[in-house]
Structure 1
Amino acid sequence: MFIIEDKGGAIAIMCASLIFLGTWPAVLTLLERRGRLPQHTYLDYSITNLLATVLIALAFGQLGEARHNMPNFFSQLGQDNWPSVLFAMAGGVVLSIGNLSTQYALAYLGLSLTEVICSSMVVVIGTTLNYFLDKRINRAEILFTGVACFLAAVILGSAVHASNAADNEQKLSGPTNSYKLGKNGGRETRKQVIDKDAPRDMENGASADYATKAEAGTAEYLIELEERRSIKVFGSSTYIGLGIVFFAGVCFSLFSPAFNLATNDQWHTLNDGVPHLVVYTAFFYFSVSCFIIGIGLNFLFLYRPMAGVPKSSFKAYLNDWEGRQWALLAGFLCGFGNGFQFMGGQAAGMLLLMLFRHCHL
């Protein structure tokens, strides 16, 4: 079994995970803004996310000789460790729901604000929970000074979102050359309609023959983006996006303490003599439950969508190959990013893991 022997190696592998964890949300945002249905994207993402977990468990969890109280991956699968397994799976459930909520929050708040608010909430809540689980071994006056800074980021990020929403509403209420107000106060569609069968412009997400290049931030740009994207946000309340991102932040806040309990058994739920779950076994169960919840909910959303997304079907999902390679890549990035952060956290500690995980914003 592969074990990181020093904190320097742990920090190095955690830094590597930042690249992966900071990239996959941007890929999902790109696909949504190009019009790919979020249900299709998340189904692809879930498959490769689980595949990355299996590769990590088999490659690293079986590498090298087993140690005392640290058996290899396959050895632990048959042990009586179900209390810890359930903690790991609970962590996967809340992470999956958090990731799914983030996919919709990205449409309402944008990538930068979603990451700032959600990640800051995770640090505030998750760090506090892990501090008490780890029996207060860290210096509270230093730790919670940093946590207070993240709390300030949550408040400021919420204020920025409200300001941006008001600014966009003002832009859209003014006259433009290419658009006019509809009867219900919304915008009529563009006079030059995009031909869905025309070749796609991968840079702008619209037909290359019909797309215009409106200046970023203008009313024309906002309306063109709204026409292309799969999650429509015009006319929605400012608080919808904030509500989704706060819900996602709470879910994300719980997965790290659950994983901490799964690997360290602070509540002494295991029988005497049963080894704690090693990080690879815990990560495997964690990701299996994440996969089941993600697949199940998005199959439901194919036929009963949320946030005004169009209905789809399993057949339509199978036939939707546009952007699939990017969704599959996002799953690999998130899977390896999570795996590397837990491997580093095993040596560096869960509190350091929490802070590193959310430096990618």
Structure 2
Amino acid sequence: MFVILDEGPAVAVLVLATICLGTFPIAFNWTDLHGRKPAHTFLDFSAAFVFAALPCAISLSNTGPRIIFMPGLWEQMTQQNDFVVACACVAGFFLMLGSMSLQWGMALTGMAICVPFQIAVSLSIGIGIDWLMDNRLGKAAWVFPGLVCFSVATIFGTLAHVERLKALKYKKDKNAVRNIVGLDDVMGQPLAANMVKSVEMGASSSSGSSSGGSMEGIPEPPRKRGLHERKLSETTDIILDLEYGKSSRRTSNLRPIGAQVMQDTSAFERDEPASTPKHTPMRMQYCKRGIDLDSSKPLTGVIVLTLGGFCFGMLTPLFFIATSALPTTDYWRILPEGVPPLTVYNAYFFMALTFGFTAWGMNLSLLYQPLCSEESSWSEYIRDNNGRIISIAAGLACGLGMALQFLGGLAGGYQVADVVKMYPLLTVVWGLLLFAEFKGSGRKAAYLLAAMCGAYVVGVGLLAAARNISVVQ
């Protein structure tokens, strides 16, 4: 089995793994913004993941010197280790569910919230279960404060998501009124500017104003509400009712790109200009989203992210059982005497194989029975080349990143391997830079996002300080 014995190269390998794992989620967000069906994206992603993971696992497992209790893949396939192989396969199934929830969660919350939230939930569950199974993994005085920090990070992430949705809703109200062109009041003057002021003032200010009368055609004093303002308010209410009533079903599949919100209503639809460039953000505003979900409700996104975090969290203890059930520490006697557990590479092989089979089975069924997208078919998937390259690149990066994580973790031990847990912060950077997430969301949302990242970093630091076992030893 191939093992790096120096911590210097191990750290370099782990940094490369962090870059790979922090970059591949871009594909899910990019393809969704360009309207590609989620099943098409995940089929390409899972196939590329398997083609990257299996060769890495086989080559790393069967090269290098033979280590006691760390046999090669072909040797372990002949041993009586059905239980640990089953644990690795179930871990692959949970990896598939977590990855699909990651894809759907990004459509609801964006990259900056989705990945840190999910990984914080998964670490809270996975590390806690691992410590209960073997408390030698870390000192309780450091482990549990770290788990509390991850829980705090999820709270800050939820609040940041809520604040961002509030800002987007306000901007949508404002832009929906501004885009109404050619609508005049009873005096023949444009209403757009006055209607924007009405939306900004809100219901509280309008209720506090006096309702004195006025003569038609003569401007009213600032604090009196006459016929002109009453007609203006009624028109604004009708438009906003259309925006959130009947038209919401028609415009729910229109895409915002980053913080740019669709400026349109079904009552006053406009066609795409013929001179619009082909690959610009302006044109992308007219594209349909790949995943047609109502992202205006914060609870929907939080539920999807929590379920995905639970799936990722169950992956860790299952993988731990498959790779750490040594005869000297096997409390449940799940292996016959003298039979070693799976090595990390062999467990990765079975996990990736199960991931590929379950991902293709699930998404092939979703082609014909989609949940929140248009129906597709196998022939349509074959012809759909929009976003295929980036989906395949994401699968290769994810498969290679996980293999590098195991390779570096074997050499550096748990303390060095915890560096990889910083990769969600890289997804935050990509979300802010590439997709303009949280642009125009206000200072409060930005502070909450920073607090989420800070709590996550503190939690990872506490876990790294609590580790006291080196894998190679």
TM-score (norm 1): 0.86
Residue matched to 2:337: 272
Report what 1:37 is aligned to. Answer: 37
Aligned counterparts of 1:300 and 1:199: Cα–Cα separation in 2? 36
Matches within 5 A, 1:237-276: 237-265=297-325, 266=330, 267-276=332-341
CA distance in 1, matches of 2:410, 2:140: 21
Q: Secondary structure at the match of 2:13?
A: helix
- Is 1:184 paired with 2:185? no
**Which stretch shows the higher mean deviation, 118-127 or 229-238?**
229-238
Larger radius of gyration: 2
Question: 2:391 maps to what in 1?
Answer: 327
2:118 paired residue number: 118
Superposed CA offset, 1:169-209 (max 9, x none): 222233344367456152328512388xx9841x54x7xxx
Question: Once the 2 structures are TM-superposed, how far is the Cα of residue 108 of structure 1 from its aligned partner?
Answer: 0.3
Q: Deviations over 1:92-114 (max 9, x none)?
A: 11111000011000000000100
Residues 56-82 of structure 1: per-residue CA shift (max 9 Å, x gap): 023211212322222122222222211
Shift of 1:136: 3.4
SS of equivalent residue, structure 2 residue 357:
helix
Residue aligning to 2:159 = 159
Q: Name the SS for the 2:309 alignment partner.
A: helix
Contact 1:127 1:351 in 2 (8 A): no
2:356 matched residue in structure 1: 291
Q: CA deviation at 1:351?
A: 7.4
Change over 3 Å in CA distance of 1:245–1:33 after alignment to 2: same
CA apart distance, 1:166 = 2.2
Give the CA deviation at 1:347. Answer: 4.1
Q: Are the aligned partners of 1:120 and 1:358 in contact in 2 as well (CA < 8 Å)?
A: no
Match of 2:402 among 300, 318, 338: 338
Q: Is the 8 A contact 1:131 1:351 kept in 2?
A: no
Contact persistence 1:178–1:191 (CA under 8 A): no
Percent identical residues: 29
Q: Is the 8 A contact 1:131 1:138 kept in 2?
A: yes
> Is contact 2:295–2:301 with CA below 8 Å preserved after alignment?
no
SS of 1:136's partner is: helix
Q: Take 1:284 and 1:349, find their aligned partners in 2: how far apart are those partners?
A: 21
Q: Following TM superposition, by how much is the alpha carbon of 1:26 offset from its aligned partner in structure 2, in angstroms?
A: 1.2
C-alpha contact 1:95 1:290 (8 A) present in aligned 2: yes
Question: Which residue identity does 1:191 align to in structure 2?
Answer: R
| Structure 1 unpaired stretches of 5+ | 213-223
Structure 2 gaps, min length 5:
181-238, 249-264, 426-473
Match of 2:377 among 300, 303, 313: 313
Aligned-pair CA distance for 1:350: 5.4
Do the aligned partners of 1:94 and 1:254 also contact (CA within 8 Å) in 2?
Answer: yes
Contact 2:107 2:295 in 1 (8 A): no
C-alpha contact 2:17 2:420 (8 A) present in aligned 1: no
Q: Is the 1:92–1:287 Cα contact (8 Å) retained in structure 2? A: yes
The equivalences for 1:15-34 within 5 A come to 15-34=15-34
The alpha-carbon distance between structure 1 residues 282 and 235, as it changes in their structure 2 partners (threshold 3 A), is closer
- Separation in 2, partners of 1:143, 1:235: 35
CA RMSD of aligned residues (A): 2.4
Write the mapping of 1:94-109 to structure 2, written as runs, cut at 5 A: 94-109=94-109
**Which region of structure 1 is more displaced relative to structure 2, 228-237 or 67-76?**
228-237
Moved more, 313-322 or 134-143: 134-143
